[in-house]
């Protein structure tokens, strides 16, 4: 191997070592109070955060606060050419269901909460979506990796999958996805869409 090749490999291995050390320092910050200033990921301790639930990304960080608090917000349920719009008051007037489900974040925490809201499958039934239809969920977030997600029919039609309006007995905190968010069983935290804007039926 050429001298150049060896140098490159050494540099590469050093890069991996440095990245691993940085990761250990960051994740250690989540476990040890003394290192908490190093915790760049925000409030992740069990029980920390509003409504006894950690926050992954705040409304301010996601730049959604003004849209999320706008009284003209409507949840749009789109099926081809037809769109149904629901205000938060309208959603609260529909039949409410409850589910005890965790938020399980890949960054290293999982916290149970009790959620209340409208079953996603009830909203889908109101637009006569077929039971084998998947859905595309879009957040109010202007940009970000979790702005648009898709959900297969097995989750979309599960009776525990909610468009959640309340958590732990209170209206959703802005940081937990007010005015409405998705909560579904058996899904990673990244797919539990906050600040829900649109539900599209994928036929």
Ligand X SMILES: Nc1nc2c(c(=O)[nH]1)N[C@H]1C(S)=C(S)[C@@H](COP(=O)(O)O)O[C@H]1N2
Q: Which residues of this chain interact with ligand X, rule CB under 6 A?
A: 53-57, 62, 103, 105, 139, 141, 144, 146, 176-177, 189-190, 192-195
Question: Out of ligand X, Mo ion, none, which partner does residue 137 contact, by CB within 5 to 8 A per kind?
Answer: none
- Span between the terminal Cα atoms of the chain, in Å: 55
**What is the C-alpha separation between 163 and 184, in angstroms, rounded?**
9
Question: Out of ligand X, Mo ion, none, which partner does residue 195 contact, by CB within 5 to 8 A per kind?
Answer: ligand X
Question: Out of Mo ion, ligand X, none, which partner does residue 184 contact, by CB within 5 to 8 A per kind?
Answer: none
Residue 167 C-beta-side C-alpha neighbours within 13 Å: 28
**Minimum CB distance to ligand X smaller for 67 or for 194:** 194
CB of 202 to ligand X, least distance (A): 19
The stretch near Mo ion (CB under 5 A) out of 20-28, 50-58, 83-91, 160-168 is 50-58
**Minimum CB distance to Mo ion smaller for 34 or for 106:** 106
**Minimum CB distance to ligand X smaller for 53 or for 118:** 53
CB of 102 to Mo ion, least distance (A): 12
Among residues 30, 39, 56, 166, the one that binds Mo ion under rule CB under 5 A: 56
Q: How many Cβ atoms sit within 10 Å of the Cβ of residue 135?
A: 26
**What is the C-alpha separation between 12 and 187, in angstroms, rounded?**
35
Determine if 189 is a binding residue for Mo ion (CB under 5 A).
yes
Q: Which helix (H) or strand (E) holds 103?
A: strand 97-105
Task: Note the Cα 89 to chain centre separation in Å.
Answer: 22
When CB distances to Mo ion are compared, the closest residue is 105
Residue in the structure block whose two tokens are 């058996």 = 186
Sheet strands (E) in 46-195: 75-79, 82-86, 97-105, 109-119, 134-139, 148-151, 162-167, 170-171, 181-183
CB of 60 to ligand X, least distance (A): 12
Coil, strand or helix at 2: coil
Question: Out of ligand X, Mo ion, none, which partner does residue 141 contact, by CB within 5 to 8 A per kind?
Answer: ligand X
**Minimum CB distance to ligand X smaller for 161 or for 192:** 192
Burial of 134 (0-12, 13-18, 19+ CB in 10 A): middle
Q: Residues in the site for Mo ion, rule: CB under 5 A?
A: 56, 105, 189
């Amino acid at each position: 191997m050429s001298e150049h090749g060896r140098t490159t490999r050494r540099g590469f291995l050093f890069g991996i070592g440095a990245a691993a050390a940085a990761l250990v320092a960051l994740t250690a910050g989540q476990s040890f109070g003394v290192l908490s200033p190093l915790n760049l990921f925000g409030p992740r301790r069990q029980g920390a955060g509003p409504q006894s639930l950690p926050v992954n990304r705040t409304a301010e960080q996601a730049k959604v606060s003004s849209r999320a608090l706008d009284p003209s917000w409507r949840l749009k349920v789109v099926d081809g050419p037809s769109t149904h719009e629901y205000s938060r008051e309208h959603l609260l007037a529909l039949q409410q269901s409850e589910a005890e489900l965790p938020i399980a974040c890949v960054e290293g925490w999982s916290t149970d909460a009790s959620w209340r809201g409208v079953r996603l499958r009830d909203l889908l039934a109101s637009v006569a979506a077929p039971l084998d239809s998947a859905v595309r969920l879009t957040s109010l977030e202007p940009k970000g990796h979790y702005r648009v997600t898709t959900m297969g029919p097995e989750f979309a039609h599960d009776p525990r999958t909610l468009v959640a309006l309340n958590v732990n007995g209170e209206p959703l905190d802005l940081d937990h996805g007010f005015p409405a968010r998705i909560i579904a069983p058996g899904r990673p935290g990244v797919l539990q869409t906050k600040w829900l804007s649109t539900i599209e039926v994928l036929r």
